[in-house]
Amino acid sequence: MPKRSDIKKVMVIGSGPIVIGQAAEFDYAGTQACRSLKEEGMEVCLVNSNPATIMTDKEIADQVYIEPLTVDVLKQIIIKEKPDSLLPTLGGQAGLNLGMELAESGFLAEQGVKLIGTTAETIFRAEDRQAFKDTMEKLGEPVAASLVVNTVEDGIKFTNTIGYPVVLRPAYTLGGSGGGIAHNEAELVEILTNGLRLSRVHEVLVERCIAGWKEIEYEVMRDAAGNCITVCNMENIDPVGVHTGDSIVVAPSQTLGDKEYQMLRTSALRIIDELGITGGCNVQYALHPESFEYCVIEVNPRVSRSSALASKATGYPIAKVAAKIALGYTLDEIPNAITKKTFASFEPMLDYCVVKIPRLPFDKFITAQRKLTTQMKATGEVMSICNNFEGALMKAIRSLEQHVDSLMSYDFCDMTDEELAEALEVVDDRRIYCIAEALRRGVSYEKIHDITQIDIWFIDKIKILVEMEQRLANEELTVELLKEAKRIEFPDNVIAELNGKLTEEQVRKMRYDNGIIAAYKMVDTCAAEFDAMTPYYYSVYGSENEAAETKDRKKVLVLGSGPIRIGQGVEFDYCSVHATWAFAKEGWETVIVNNNPETVSTDFDIADKLYFEPLTNEDVESIVNLEKPDGAIVQFGGQTAIKLTEHLMKIGVPILGTKAEDVDAAEDRELFDKILEQTQIPRAAGGTVFTAEEAKAVANRLGYPVLVRPSYVLGGQGMQIAFNDEEIEKFMDIINQIAQDHPILVDKYLQGKEIEVDAICDGENILIPGIMEHIERTGIHSGDSISVYPAHTISQDIKDKIVDYTERLAKALHVLGMINIQFIAMDGEVYVIEVNPRSSRTVPYISKVTGIPIVDLAAKAILGHKITDMGYKPGLQPEADYIAIKMPVFSFEKLRGAEISLGPEMKSTGECLGIAKTFEEALYKAFLGAGVILPKHKQMIITVKDKDKPEALEVAKRFEKLGYKIYATRSTAKYLQDGGVDALRVNKITQESPNVMDLILGHKIDLVIDTPTQGHGDKTRDGFLIRRNAIETGINCITAMDTAVALATSLESATTEYTLVDVATI
C-alpha cells in the first residue's frame, strides 16, 4: 500500500521532561521518526516541553513548540498550526495519554485532525485494564487472575479470593508508578491507596502474583495491511517481580527452546493483530519456568524503552519504520536501511548476544531503598554486545561508570555464609555480585536458583566468570589463559589485579605482543546473510576483524556520555550528536563511541561509524588502535569523555579543542587559584584536603558554613554544605567511600545570586549567547535551580563584569570550544564558583532560546574558524525578545526513602522550558510543564526553619490572597499569625492526631513548603517524613523559599491563553 495522500502535516507529541520511567529513549525514537516523516516530504510540527532534546531542533521539525504538554496547550497549538494528522505514539505514555484525551473529547474530529499510528480504540483496548483483559479473553490469551478495582475494600475482597501475594498496577501511569507487590493486607492497603490516587482514571489492577516466572518481551510491528513481524525478543535475567526497566535483560532470549519462543511469538502477533496496531508494540510475558503456561503481562501500543533497546540490539529502526507505517506504507515496501537489500518485513537475526544493565541512582540517593520492585527506579541504562554472554555482561558492567568493572566490584567477603544467603534474598542492584560471591564460596546452583529464581543457565555463566577470576588469581598468566580471559572480556586492569604480579600496562603489552587484540564485528540485522552497508560495530576477542579501514578523510573520534544519570543527562547526548554533525559538515569522517541504547548518538546513521562499546581507557584504546583518528573530541560528552582525556593523550591521540592541561587547570584547585590570581578574579576562599581532619581545619579557618565537594565530578556528586565539624566528618566519610584520585575542595559558602554562562572561545574572541540567572540563591545545585534567560534582575555593571571575567578566564585557560562558568553575584561583586572548560547542561536550552547553534559554532572554532568569520560579533549577544525559563523536574516519588530537599548535590532527572513574552507567563508555563498544575484544593502547609520565617510570611500572604488556606506547624503558625496571616496551626507528627501527617495523607493539600533545618539525612526527623510523605502522596513539595516565591508569582499570573512560541523561528 503506498503512502496515504491525505497526510501532509503531522503533529508529533514528545514525552516531556526526563523522569524515571520516561527518559532519553523517546528523544531517540522521536528524532528518528521525525526524520523519517521529513524524508517522506511531511511538514512536521513538534511539541515537547523538554528543551534538552534533539527532536526539538529546528533541523528535525518544521515547527517546534517547547511548551507544557497539557491538553489546553495542545489544543491551542492545533488551532494555530492546523495539522491534518496527529502521531501520538512517539511520546511515551505521556504522549499517548494526551493523544487519547484529545481524541476522546472529540476535539480532533472537530478540527479535522486524524489520529495516525494508532486509533483511540487501540489505545483504549491496550491500556485500559478491563478492556485489555476482555481482549485477551476473547483471543484466548491467558492473563494472570486479576480484577480492576476502584476502592481499597474491593481490592481486599478480591485478594482474599486469590490469595497473597498480589501485584498492584495502577492504570495509565508510567514506569509502574505507584505499583508494587503486596504480601499482606497492610501492604495491600498502603500500595493500593497510593496507586488509586496516582492513576489518571482512579483504577488499579489487583493481580495474581507470578513473581519468579521468566519475564520475556517481544517487540512486534504491524502495518495497516495486517502484516506482522517480530523485531526481537528479550529475556529478563531477573524473573517477574522486578520492573523490566530495572532488570538485567538479554537479547535474544537464551533459555527458551523454539517451542517456547514460537509459542510466545505467535501469541504476540495474534495480540497486535487483534488490537489492530499500526506501528510498533511491546508485549510482555510471564512464562512458567517448568511448563508451557504463560501469561500476558502487558502490551504497550507505542514505542518504548524496550523498543529503543530492541532497535539498538538488532539494528532495526523501529521508530523510523513505525512512522512510515503511520503514513500508509506496508512493511514489504520499506527498505531496511542497514542492509539496503532486505525490507522492513525481514525479521532481524542476531549472531551475538546483547546485555542491558540499568543505571540505578543509589549512588546519588544513599538513603533511598535499593530494593527493586515493579516500580522502576533506574535513570538510564547501558547495553553491550559480544558473541558470548559472559563477555557481554562484563562489558555492560564496566559501561555503568559506577566504579564497577567486574563481579568482584561489590565486596561481600565480610559476610558470613548465613548473611550471604540472606543477602541473596534481597532483590537489588547488587544481586549479581552477590551471586558471584555465593558461587565463590561453593553454594550450589540449585540453592541460588531456589532463592533468586534466576535460571541456572545464567548462574552457570556467572560461575564461568568466577572460575576465570580464580584461575587468574592462582595460575601463571599464560598466553592461552590470557586469550580465554579476554574472550570473556576481562579488562586488563582486573587481570593485572588478580594476577598480582603484573601491572595493567604489562598485561596490555603481553596482549599486544601475542596479537590478542579486539576485533570488531558488525550489527547487520541479518547474521551476515547479506552484505550490510551500515558500519555499526561491537568488539570481540579471538575473531576476525571486519571493521573497514578508512583513511580518505580526516577522522574525529567523538566520545559519548554513557548512561543517563542524574547530573549527566540527555543534554550531553545532544551535544555529542551536534558535534558529530558539525564535524561531518566540515568534511571530517566521524566515529562515535557510546554505550547508551536510549540515545540519538547511538542511532546507526548519526556518525559515519558507530562503536557500541564501554567508555573506558582500554576499550577506547582498542578502537583508537584500529581507527587511528586524527583527533578526539571530549568536551561534549560530559565527565565520561573528559575522564578519558589523559589516556587518549598518552596513546597519542590529539585532543581537539581545549588542551587537557587547561582542563586540569580548571579542575585542579591550586592551578586554578593561580589562574584566578593572574586574571584577578575573586572567588570564595577555600582549600584542598584529603582527610576529615584537614577539612575541619580549613572549615574552621574559613568559618562555617562551608561547601565540601570532590573534584572532577558532574552534577555536584557528593557536594554538601556543612554547618559544623560533625557534618564535615559525615560528608568526608561518604566522599571517601570511593577512593579519591584528586583532593577534596572545601570552600567558604557564599549566599548570593547564582549566574551561569556558556561561551564559545575561538582562541581570540569569545561569544556569549546569553546570561542565565537562577531563581534560587547559591547553595542549590545549578541543575536543580530554576534558570532564567535573559538574566533580568542583575545590573548592567554585573553583566559587564561577567562578560569581562568570562573572557579573561577563557583566554587564561586557552579555551578552544566550549566553556561554562558559574558565578555568584553578591553585594555588587562577582565571584567565580566553578569553571568547566567543556559543554554543559544548559547548552541545548540556551541554543534553542537564542537561536544560536552553540555546539556547531564551538566545533567550528575547534577546527580553526573564527567567530567573526561565522557571522557573529564577539562578546555577549543581543538579548532575545522572549523570556525562557528552565525548570528542573524530579523523580522523587519513584525513589522510596530518598531525601528530597535541595542542596549542592544535583537531584533532578530532567527539565522543561517555559517560554513567553513576559517573565510571569514563562514562569507559569515552566511550572505547568513540570507538572505543577495548581490550584486544586487551595490548601497548603508551611513549615520552615527560623531563618526563613520572614520570607515565609511574605509568601504566605501571597498564597492567602490567591485563596489558599494555610496550615503551619507550631512556631511557623505563630509567626504567620503574628504577621497577619490566618494560618491554622497543626500538630507535629509526634503529637496526637489530627497532625500534619493526617493532613498530608488526607489528599486535600496542594503544596508543602518545607525548608529543612541544618543538617540532613536523618530519616526519623519530622521534616524528612513530611517531605517524603508529601512526595509519595503526589503533593508538590518545595524546599527553598526562592522557589516558593516563584511559584506564587506564577500562580498570580495564571492564564489559560498562552503565547505560543515556535522556537524554530527564533
Partner 1 sequence: MKAFLILEDGTVFEGTSIGSTREVVSEIVFNTSMTGYLEVLTDPSYAGQAVCMTYPLIGNYGITPDMESGKPWPDGFIVRELSRIPSNFRCEGTIQDFLVEHDIPGIAGIDTRALTKILREKGTMNGMITTNENYNFDEIAPKLKAYVTGDVVSKVTCSEKKVLPGNGKKVALLDFGAKKNIAKSLNDRGCEVTIFPAHTKAEDILKTNPDGIMLSNGPGDPKDCGPIIEEIKKLYNSDTPIFAICLGHQLMALANGADTHKMKYGHRGGNHPVKDLETGRVYISSQNHGYVVDTDKLDPKVATPAFVNVNDGTNEGLKYTGKNIFTVQFHPEACPGPQDSGYLFDRFIKMMGGEQ
Binder to partner 1 among 226, 654, 950, 980 (CB under 8 A)?
A: 226
Burial letters 624-659, b for 16+ CB under 10 A, else e: bebbebbbbbbbbbbbbbbbbbeebeeeebebbbbb
767 binds partner 1 (CB under 8 A): no
Query: Count of residues binding partner 1 (CB under 8 A)?
Result: 56
Q: Are 439 and 456 in contact (CB under 8 A)?
A: no
Nearest residue (CB) to partner 1, 81 versus 332 = 332
Burial letters 494-523, b for 16+ CB under 10 A, else e: bbbbbbeebebeebbebbeeeebebbbbbb
Nearest residue (CB) to partner 1, 262 versus 470 = 262
Residue the block writes with cell 579542575: 667
Distance from C-alpha of 811 to C-alpha of 803, rounded to nearest angstrom? 12
Distance from C-alpha of 360 to C-alpha of 381, rounded to nearest angstrom? 8
289 binds partner 1 (CB under 8 A): yes
Distance from C-alpha of 310 to C-alpha of 317, rounded to nearest angstrom? 9
Distance from C-alpha of 973 to C-alpha of 993, rounded to nearest angstrom? 17
Nearest residue (CB) to partner 1, 457 versus 512 = 457
Burial letters 74-90, b for 16+ CB under 10 A, else e: bbbbbeebebbbbbbbb
17 binds partner 1 (CB under 8 A): no
Q: Which stretch binds partner 1 (CB under 8 A): 384-392, 558-566, 918-926, 1047-1055?
A: 384-392
Find the shortest distance in angstroms from Cβ 251 to partner 1. 10
Binder to partner 1 among 159, 247, 306, 330 (CB under 8 A)?
A: 330
Nearest residue (CB) to partner 1, 341 versus 1021 = 341
341 binds partner 1 (CB under 8 A): yes
- For residue 787 the three cell numbers come to 534558570
Distance from C-alpha of 824 to C-alpha of 833, rounded to nearest angstrom? 7
Angle formed at CA 801 by CA 800 and CA 803, multiple of 5 degrees: 65
Find the shortest distance in angstroms from Cβ 460 to partner 1. 5
541 binds partner 1 (CB under 8 A): no
293 binds partner 1 (CB under 8 A): no
Binder to partner 1 among 161, 291, 416, 796 (CB under 8 A)?
A: 291
Please tell me what DSSP assigns to residue 1012: P
With 0-12 CB in 10 A as exposed, 13-18 as middle and 19+ as buried, what is 740? Answer: middle
Distance from C-alpha of 162 to C-alpha of 154, rounded to nearest angstrom? 13
102: left (phi over 0), alpha (psi -120 to 50) or beta: alpha
Binder to partner 1 among 118, 173, 300, 388 (CB under 8 A)?
A: 388
Q: What is the CA radius of gyration of the chain?
A: 28
Nearest residue (CB) to partner 1, 212 versus 763 = 212
1054 binds partner 1 (CB under 8 A): no
Find the shortest distance in angstroms from Cβ 353 to partner 1. 6
Binder to partner 1 among 154, 274, 332, 428 (CB under 8 A)?
A: 332
Find the shortest distance in angstroms from Cβ 117 to partner 1. 20
Binder to partner 1 among 111, 119, 255, 736 (CB under 8 A)?
A: 255
276 binds partner 1 (CB under 8 A): no
Distance from C-alpha of 598 to C-alpha of 606, rounded to nearest angstrom? 14
Q: How far does CA 918 lie from the centroid of its chain?
A: 31
List binders of partner 1 among 656-685 (CB under 8 A).
none
Binder to partner 1 among 111, 119, 345, 1053 (CB under 8 A)?
A: 345
Nearest residue (CB) to partner 1, 454 versus 1041 = 454
444 binds partner 1 (CB under 8 A): no
Find the shortest distance in angstroms from Cβ 455 to partner 1. 6
Closest by CA to 955, choosing from 930, 926, 929, 975, is: 975
347 binds partner 1 (CB under 8 A): yes
530 binds partner 1 (CB under 8 A): yes
List binders of partner 1 among 389-408 (CB under 8 A).
389
Nearest residue (CB) to partner 1, 348 versus 929 = 348
277 binds partner 1 (CB under 8 A): no
Binder to partner 1 among 71, 473, 528, 651 (CB under 8 A)?
A: 528
- The mark string for 457-476 relative to partner 1 (x by CB under 8 A, - otherwise) is x--x---x------------
Find the shortest distance in angstroms from Cβ 346 to partner 1. 6
311 binds partner 1 (CB under 8 A): no
642 binds partner 1 (CB under 8 A): no
Nearest residue (CB) to partner 1, 454 versus 867 = 454
Q: Which stretch binds partner 1 (CB under 8 A): 192-200, 537-545, 794-802, 854-862?
A: 537-545
Residues 6+ apart with CB under 8 A from 441: 417, 420
543 binds partner 1 (CB under 8 A): yes
Residues 6+ apart with CB under 8 A from 357: 248, 381, 382, 396, 397, 399, 400
534 binds partner 1 (CB under 8 A): no
Find the shortest distance in angstroms from Cβ 138 to partner 1. 20
Find the shortest distance in angstroms from Cβ 118 to partner 1. 21
Distance from C-alpha of 1012 to C-alpha of 995, rounded to nearest angstrom? 19
Binder to partner 1 among 352, 365, 823, 975 (CB under 8 A)?
A: 352
Q: Which DSSP string corresponds to 391-410? A: HHHHHHHHHS-SS--STTSS
Find the shortest distance in angstroms from Cβ 525 to partner 1. 9
Nearest residue (CB) to partner 1, 197 versus 341 = 341
Find the shortest distance in angstroms from Cβ 520 to partner 1. 11
- For residue 596 the three cell numbers come to 547508551
309 binds partner 1 (CB under 8 A): no
User: Which run of H or of E encompasses 490?
Assistant: none
Task: For 757, list phi and psi in degrees, rounded to 5.
Answer: -135, 145
Q: Which stretch binds partner 1 (CB under 8 A): 69-77, 137-145, 346-354, 763-771?
A: 346-354
Binder to partner 1 among 265, 370, 578, 949 (CB under 8 A)?
A: 265
Q: Are 50 and 111 in contact (CB under 8 A)?
A: no
290 binds partner 1 (CB under 8 A): yes
Find the shortest distance in angstroms from Cβ 524 to partner 1. 10
Which residue pairs, CB below 8 angstroms and at least 24 apart, start in 128-135?
128/171, 128/201, 129/169, 129/171, 129/203, 129/205, 132/298, 132/299, 135/271, 135/274, 135/275
Distance from C-alpha of 368 to C-alpha of 193, rounded to nearest angstrom? 21
Q: Which stretch binds partner 1 (CB under 8 A): 108-116, 349-357, 747-755, 777-785?
A: 349-357
* Residue count of the chain: 1066
Please give the span between the terminal C-alpha atoms of the chain, in angstroms, as a whole number: 39
Distance from C-alpha of 891 to C-alpha of 784, rounded to nearest angstrom? 12
410 binds partner 1 (CB under 8 A): no
112 binds partner 1 (CB under 8 A): no
350 binds partner 1 (CB under 8 A): yes
Q: Which DSSP string corresponds to 818-830? A: EEEEEEEEETTEE
Find the shortest distance in angstroms from Cβ 334 to partner 1. 11
Find the shortest distance in angstroms from Cβ 171 to partner 1. 32
Distance from C-alpha of 270 to C-alpha of 626, rounded to nearest angstrom? 46
Find the shortest distance in angstroms from Cβ 485 to partner 1. 15
- For residue 252 the three cell numbers come to 535474544
What does the binding site for partner 1 look like in residue numbers (CB under 8 A)? 225-230, 252-259, 261-262, 265-266, 269, 289-291, 330-332, 341-343, 345-353, 387-389, 455-457, 460, 464, 521, 526-531, 542-544, 546
